[in-house]
Structure 1
Amino acid sequence: MSRIKDHPPRLFFRCGNPLKVLVPKNNNAGISQNLLSLLNNFETNLTVLIKDLIPKDDGNAILTVSWMKEAMTSLCKTHKSIKKLVTEVELPVSDLEENFIYIYSGISLKLLELCNSFTSELDRLNYGNLLLKFAFNKLETRSCSEETFLLHLESWRKHMASKNPRIEICGAILSSLVESLQHHHHSLSKKKLSGKGRVLQRALYGVNVKTLYISSVFAAVFSGTSNSLLCLTIPKEMEDVPWAQALMDLQNMVNPEIKNAFLSDRFTVIKDLEEVESGVKKLHIAVQEGSVTNVVVEILNKSVMELSDRFDLVSKETGCLLKTVIFARDAMGERLWTKSEEDLVVTLPMIISVKRDLFVNSKSVLFHVQ
């Protein structure tokens, strides 16, 4: 992975945070107790999920594959929560409130692109593990010369140092996501939302902020550069949200760890993978010196097997997030189609119904990893 000298993380909304318009100072006015209860439960759950990602030790758990798995699981739970909230709020789709349904649709589309990119990189990393397993098998069965075996190890190193085009575009996707939020929420700031609309918007704000941050961490770790890493700030009028401090604590723990890792002369910032690389280096020297033992090979092989399993778990959780987002898009999309049927006082023709099904389900095909 590429090395960098000093790329400070990009600030979230450098020219001010447009999302601050979501909640007015008197943000509880006109909102029923039932709606407030739903919102409080959602934000409390969001707070707990963010806190759970903050390592209890000195940060050694950060930048491990296990932590990445937990982060993706946490995102998946959050998007399941927003889908549940949409159902519980029973939001009547007015012409005004269609706007933020489209906002979530646009945001989630970009998130699906990111999920696809992350899954692609996990597959690429796991292919590197297959290269090592193949090399170990050759060594154990003595079916190749030492020179050939060393070429296998070098092939692994070159593969791991190569670039993934899908990861290279993650920074642009995150930037466009920030711009989309800025554009849509600026237009909504001039309109008056119902109590239900305001509750859903505030919840979506939390979902979007958490999604942006964790996605930027994954993009930075996979790309080997902090150019994609976001440093999010919460506007003063939103500092009372229960998850704000947890988010700042998480960033204060994770961002310095990532920056320090990039400034060091490491093969990769993923600690599990760094340990495997260190073992490969020792094995390379042992082969050259003719001092290879079964113990050395077995220990490294075990590390590679465990790393493959962990990558598989992260990939599984990423797939879970992708499906959850698709289902949430389905739920919101269905509300728009249902409203259209009610407005027309007719059932949509079969051809339009088919288009509807394609609209809400096509992303599962579009973002299937090749």
Structure 2
Amino acid sequence: MVLLLQKIDKLYSKLENYHHHNHNHQSQALSSSLEAFQTLVSSSLNRLFSSSKSAESEVPSFPWIQQCFELIPIINNGFAKLVVAIDYPMTKWEADSVEEYLQFTLKLLELCNSITCSLSHLGKERMSLSHGLSLVESSSPSLAVERLRQIQVQPKSLSKDFRFEGNEEHGKERFSITKRSVFHQALVVMEGMVFWLCGILMTGIVGDSKPYLEMRKSGGRLVSSLISGLDLSVGEVIVENKGMLKEVIEINDSVAALVSAVGIGQKSKTEADELQRRLEVFERLVEDLGKEVDCVFNNVLAGRNQLLNGFQHQKQ
């Protein structure tokens, strides 16, 4: 009987050691997956800002804010790879994970719509300037001067549309290492980074630093640790220039030069040609960014539909 009890004790001891070892191995694997995702985010940001002087001293340009926005699908794809790496597919998500993801993607879809609306406003401003430019060589230069107004930005506050209650607390809790907690922490990072990048983009498009200042508050400590130095350098440039993009400033300067030349009766072909060139470049930039925003919107919408359709099939 004693021998039997000793054998049972040894068996239980081996099982406990096995489960403890297996749990540690799983925790390390989950932690490694989360660290890999955070490294992807950090390295992507560092590449963007190290290859661009815009974050340091120059006025932000249209191509630069588009590069910022292009990081969003990279971060989204990294999150998708993490979900696969930790073996936590949509079909295994718990209710709170589903709710978190749906809330994040809904906000991102709304942001894409706001960006599209602001780009449409810029497109209308460009068309108005193009029309005014066409009147310069007509018989009514005074009418041309009336139409040649500088691009009027569209200040927009996001505080009424986007609420981030509780996001400031993200990163303060101590999580046990589980698939669910790793998913949550990665989603917090993705959400904070995406909104931070959208804040940069919106500030550039609307020519107002408010969207950036509002969106930067949403990330919490996890995100702040990833963007600490970058946030300071970007914030200084944005606030100093009031969010105005380099191309908009240049177009407005060209408009002022052309209006001045027409007003004093000078030949204005040089100024008109320069404004025409800048407007053509600006048109392409607006269109390219619009396509990128549409692509992100469609991909995010497809992911939401996939998740919702999967749950509908489960219920059936």
TM-score band, normalised by shorter chain: 0.7 to 0.9
List per-residue Cα deviations over 1:180-209 (Å, max 9, x = no partner).
Answer: 6469x79xx69x877221221221121011
* Unaligned ranges ≥5, structure 1: 1-27, 263-267, 342-347, 349-370
Is 2:147 aligned against 1:161? no
Whole-Å separation in 2 of the counterparts to 1:181 and 1:119: 26
* Equivalence for 2:108: 111
Whole-Å separation in 1 of the counterparts to 2:188 and 2:303: 15
Go from structure 1 to structure 2 and tell me whether the alpha carbon gap of 1:296 and 1:96 turns closer, same or farther (over 3 Å shift): closer
Aligned residues: 289
Q: Are the counterparts in 1 of residues 27 and 177 from structure 2 also a CA contact under 8 Å?
A: no
Alignment of 1:259-298 (within 5 A): 259-262=239-242, 269-298=244-273
Letter in 2 for 1:197: R
Whole-Å separation in 2 of the counterparts to 1:76 and 1:96: 22
Go from structure 1 to structure 2 and tell me whether the alpha carbon gap of 1:133 and 1:203 turns closer, same or farther (over 3 Å shift): same
Go from structure 1 to structure 2 and tell me whether the alpha carbon gap of 1:331 and 1:95 turns closer, same or farther (over 3 Å shift): closer
More helix by share: 2
Displacement of 1:152 in angstroms is 1.4
Indicate the structure whose relative CO is greater, using CA pairs within 8 Å and at least 6 residues apart: 1
Alignment of 1:1-370 (within 5 A): 31-55=26-50, 56-57=52-53, 59-91=56-88, 97-139=94-136, 142-154=137-149, 157=150, 160-161=151-152, 163=154, 167-168=156-157, 170-174=158-162, 176=163, 178-179=164-165, 181=167, 195-228=178-211, 229-230=213-214, 231-232=216-217, 235=221, 238=222, 246-262=226-242, 269-338=244-313, 340-341=314-315, 348=316
| TM-score, normalised by the number of residues in structure 2 | 0.78
Whole-Å separation in 2 of the counterparts to 1:245 and 1:66: 26
List per-residue Cα deviations over 1:316-357 (Å, max 9, x = no partner).
Answer: 22112212222332343344334x34xxxxxx2xxxxxxxxx
Q: Are the counterparts in 2 of residues 63 and 258 from structure 1 also a CA contact under 8 Å?
A: yes
Whole-Å separation in 2 of the counterparts to 1:54 and 1:93: 34
Query: After alignment, is 215-224 or 38-47 more displaced?
Result: 215-224
SS at structure 2 position matched to 1:52: helix
SS at structure 1 position matched to 2:41: helix
Go from structure 1 to structure 2 and tell me whether the alpha carbon gap of 1:119 and 1:312 turns closer, same or farther (over 3 Å shift): same
Whole-Å separation in 2 of the counterparts to 1:250 and 1:101: 31
Go from structure 1 to structure 2 and tell me whether the alpha carbon gap of 1:171 and 1:244 turns closer, same or farther (over 3 Å shift): closer
Identity, % of aligned positions: 19
List per-residue Cα deviations over 1:250-272 (Å, max 9, x = no partner).
Answer: 2011101111123xxxxx71121
Go from structure 1 to structure 2 and tell me whether the alpha carbon gap of 1:98 and 1:135 turns closer, same or farther (over 3 Å shift): same
Go from structure 1 to structure 2 and tell me whether the alpha carbon gap of 1:65 and 1:210 turns closer, same or farther (over 3 Å shift): same
Superposition CA RMSD, Å: 3.2
Go from structure 1 to structure 2 and tell me whether the alpha carbon gap of 1:246 and 1:52 turns closer, same or farther (over 3 Å shift): farther
Displacement of 1:120 in angstroms is 0.8
Whole-Å separation in 1 of the counterparts to 2:91 and 2:143: 68
Q: Are the counterparts in 2 of residues 79 and 321 from structure 1 also a CA contact under 8 Å?
A: no
Q: Are the counterparts in 2 of residues 226 and 259 from structure 1 also a CA contact under 8 Å?
A: yes
